[in-house]
Chain A
């Protein structure tokens, strides 16, 4: 991996130690045209270094964008961006394993989100996705020996854990990537809650998840916005917004920062995060800009602070 920041003491972020900004896989089921236009705009306009493509949440959605996938990847690459292929979070059927196998045979770098992918990789390098349970250096060590070149931090990890993992990762030549924007995944299931919310089942779902491009809001009985349903996945209501933590994470040796696509202007979000990474503006001021863009969405950072995931501490 080129572009990793060297250890240069406690200086504020410098332009020449450029951290990489990545765009995580699109977790929502957007119509094909919307999805294609989104990636084309990312290719043309966003200051993002690397883009993860591919369906993670539900294999039933997979065929929709498949015909456009390689064209989209070409366009992103032509714009100077690296492309990584994400794979399913939950693999149960032979067909799903075959899709993972085919992706692996075809593509340079795969993000694994179920251990099935590691088994079919056959020694090729891979990215450990945020839905693989790597909580500690023991698990990281083993997967590094299997060919992991990057670890994407799972939602529950605190800054303290990431610091320890980053140290272990460095010794193993593994890069750490931390999600810093967007809803956090809280669970996966075999049951589709989007379908269930309309009295349907996963097997006859009619792809109702397409109705909610930013997920289906789920509140408590007394009106607290709590969760978001995205097909078989449950997510946080608030968006992770770690602008205040970027400098500390960089100091620990985190080399890449992930923005998870939401139904908002992601080009603008990337600009804000890039400005923070480049030390162009004060994180507090940038956070205010992000708030202006997302006035009705609360921000969360509880896990990073070692507490309740839904909390926000300024």
Chain B
């Protein structure tokens, strides 16, 4: 049984029913998951839930005092609204604690059809200023906003003071450098859209090939990176590739680092943040258990007024690229 959130609510990824149990057992306050189709932004083979699995998952989580959020956070293509509406209906009928939504049409539907279902605004909606957030709050009654990963801690604090809704921030995992919900790089290269299909750089379009002593990574035939023997081969996400500009080769957009805010939790708390989001619905049960466990112990220590153990911050080994960053939370990232 996890304790009620005393410091910051820990929101954890449940890519599969197994990962959901792992996250709950490791001390998640809340888990988030999605259906096995393009209605959520992690639409990858072998992941996600059908309605029965979600029902079981909600029962397990609720029995352990843990909340369940259902992500219906992609954008339906024209003429194809039904699947998204059904996803919202199922989430409401099964007693999900909230739905995480992005599309204005889906938000409108949920607001009218299921006024009792709590609505969170997905990071995919890219609401990053008080006026934009007020639009979603006033029109769709959103209770919480998942903040785009583009503001520094000072800006987050200033924003939270003005918006009148809870703020959830990304705490750990994959770090996109473009504004989410407004990036077409992957569909430009593969034809599949992160916004509508829920897949960024899908594995089905990824290939690695050896060229001499180098390993080249490709996305649908487009070279994204090349690695020497001493380098770990990062996944070929288009915004984290090596490119050539002005005759120079570099990680022009972002290096393949993972985000980790473990060291700035007190600052986020002081900024007025309500919840921390662990990214990684595509990750293994073991990964989820380890990351959630470390964050749980750290948050509990902070809640008791103790300094968290140094060892708990050591998550680099399971981090993408094996290296960590504070991303946009620290000034100078821009």
Give me the interface of A with B, judged by CB distance under 8 Å: 89-93, 96-97, 100, 114-120, 131, 133-143, 155-157, 160-162, 164-165, 168, 184-193, 195-198, 201-203, 216-224, 226-227, 229, 234, 236, 302-303, 306-310
Contact = CB atoms under 8 A, between A and B. Distances in A.
Interface string B311-334: 000000000000000001000111
A155 B186 CA distance: 13
A97 B75 contact: no
A116 B131 contact: yes
B182 A133 contact: yes
Rank and list the top 6 A-B pairs by shortest CB-CB distance, nearest first. A138-B105, A309-B188, A116-B131, A202-B334, A164-B78, A190-B150
A136 B75 contact: yes
Contacts of B138: 119
Most A Cβ at <10 Å: residue of B81, B151, B187, B224: B187
A93 B139 CA distance: 22
Contacts of B106: 138
Nearest to B224: A220
B108 A155 contact: no
B162 to A, nearest CB: 9
Contact of B78 (A136, A185, A307): A136
Contacts of A234: 178, 185, 253
A197 B274 CA distance: 36
Contact of B132 (A115, A138, A222): A115
B94 to A, nearest CB: 23
Contacts of A157: 78
A254 to B, nearest CB: 14
Interface of B: 75-81, 102-106, 108-109, 125-132, 134-136, 138-139, 150-151, 155, 177-179, 181-185, 187-191, 193, 195-196, 216, 220, 222-226, 239, 241-246, 248-250, 252-254, 328, 332-334
B128 A307 contact: no
Contact of A133 (B181, B189, B246): B181
Residue of B135, B177, B190, B196 with highest tally of chain A CB at under 10 A: B135
A115 B184 CA distance: 19
Chain B, interface SS category: mixed
B223 to A, nearest CB: 4
A191 B226 CA distance: 24
Given A116-B135, A161-B78, A308 B190 contact: yes
Given A90-B179, A227-B243, A143 B104 contact: yes
Given A187-B178, A187-B179, A137 B78 contact: yes
A308 B189 contact: yes
A118 B196 CA distance: 23
B179 A164 contact: no
B308 to A, nearest CB: 29
A100 B130 CA distance: 13
B228 to A, nearest CB: 12
B75 A218 contact: no
A187 B184 contact: yes
Contacts of B104: 133-134, 138-139, 142-143
Contacts of A137: 78-79, 81, 105
Given A161-B77, A164-B79, A309-B184, 18 more contacts: A96-B129, A97-B131, A115-B125, A116-B135, A136-B76, A136-B103, A138-B76, A138-B103, A139-B104, A185-B184, A189-B177, A189-B178, A197-B252, A223-B244, A227-B185, A229-B245, A229-B252, A234-B185
A203 B188 contact: no
21 contacts: A89-B182, A90-B126, A115-B125, A116-B130, A119-B135, A131-B182, A133-B75, A136-B75, A136-B105, A137-B81, A142-B104, A142-B139, A156-B193, A157-B78, A186-B185, A189-B150, A196-B252, A201-B332, A218-B245, A226-B222, A302-B188
A192 B150 CA distance: 12
Contacts of B193: 156
B260 to A, nearest CB: 19
A117 B184 CA distance: 22
Contacts of A222: 216, 223
Contacts of B105: 136-142
